[in-house]
Amino acid sequence: MQRILIVGATSAIAEATARLFASRGDALFLAGRSPSRLEAIADDLKVRGANLAATYVFDARAFDRFPALLQAASACLGGLDAALIAHGMLSDQIACQRSVEQLREQFDINALSVMALCTDLANQLVSQGHGVIAVISSVAGDRGRRSNYVYGSAKAAVTAFTSGLRQRLYPQGVRVVTIKPGFVGTPMTAAFKKSALWATPASVAADIVRAMDGGKAVIYTPWFWRPLMWIVRSVPEAMFRRLRL
């Protein structure tokens, strides 16, 4: 049995991942913004086999409350073996272009809050000598595109941060997993036109669980995004800036 903290537990990907953990009897501590959604998810996970499914109302912008979240998770679970950081929001690119305030809010939620939480988590897991920190970044962070470069920049920061954190924690027995989903059909992306490149939360969740259990340090999910993003990164800048992406 693993004792797992899930931050942003009401997101579609996080919920699908929690269901896989529950099916094998893991103990879960679910943090998110909506008390009613958290309770509904927790009830469902208990039916699916979770050893424990506790909830905690969490605001990603309240950086000073992060230590209290980790303390509550550890106390409830009797320790902490792993954490999945899955909170975030899809940026309104046009609004961010027009407003520095909007830009800063997006970075606070999608980048800085993740880094701050990873820092607190890292210090706790190092003190016990083991653990896994899994963080959802995005393929959008591999190269800036005109249509979503604010969101992509925040995710690029998360990817770089987790890379450095992985190097720091490796000698101390703590694993850091960077997860890079492509297009995923969730309520957050409901308005987008879908294609064969879109994945389901369940398929992404299966990749996340495999990676957290001891797979690769960096995963693209589905797998085909790795070669696709290699191609995107390889396009010369003079050509790339002319593309309407």
Task: Give the domains, in start order, of the chain with CATH numbers.
Answer: 3-240 (3.40.50.720)
Query: What is the average pLDDT score of the chain?
Result: 94
Q: What is the pLDDT of residues 154-168, one digit of tens each?
A: 999 999 999 999 999
For residue 215, with 0-12 CB atoms within 10 Å meaning exposed, 13-18 middle and 19 or more buried, which class applies?
middle
pLDDT confidence bin for 196, thresholds 50/70/90: confident
pLDDT at residue 194 above 70?
no
pLDDT of amino acid 191: 65
pLDDT at residue 192 above 70?
no
Q: What is the pLDDT of residues 14-54, one digit of tens each?
A: 999 999 999 999 999 999 999 999 999 999 999 999 999 99
For residue 165, with 0-12 CB atoms within 10 Å meaning exposed, 13-18 middle and 19 or more buried, which class applies?
buried
- Enzyme catalytic residues: 151
pLDDT confidence bin for 66, thresholds 50/70/90: very high
In 3-state terms, what secondary structure has residue 234?
A: helix
Percent of the chain residues past pLDDT 90, beyond the cut: 87
pLDDT at residue 245 above 90?
no
Residues 6+ apart with CB under 8 A from 127: none
Structure tokens belonging to residue 106: 């997006």
The helix (run of H) or strand (run of E) holding residue 23 is: helix 12-23
Residues 6+ apart with CB under 8 A from 198: 182, 183, 184, 185
Q: What is the pTM of this model?
A: 0.93
In 3-state terms, what secondary structure has residue 131?
A: strand
Q: Which of 68-72, 165-169, 186-190, 221-225 has the lowest mean pLDDT?
A: 186-190
Tokens 């389901």 belong to residue: 200
pLDDT confidence bin for 232, thresholds 50/70/90: very high
pLDDT of amino acid 206: 97
Q: How far apart are CA 165 and CA 159, in angstroms?
A: 10
Residues facing 177 on adjacent strands:
134
pLDDT at residue 145 above 80?
yes
In 3-state terms, what secondary structure has residue 26?
A: coil
Task: Report the pLDDT averaged over residues 49-77.
Answer: 95
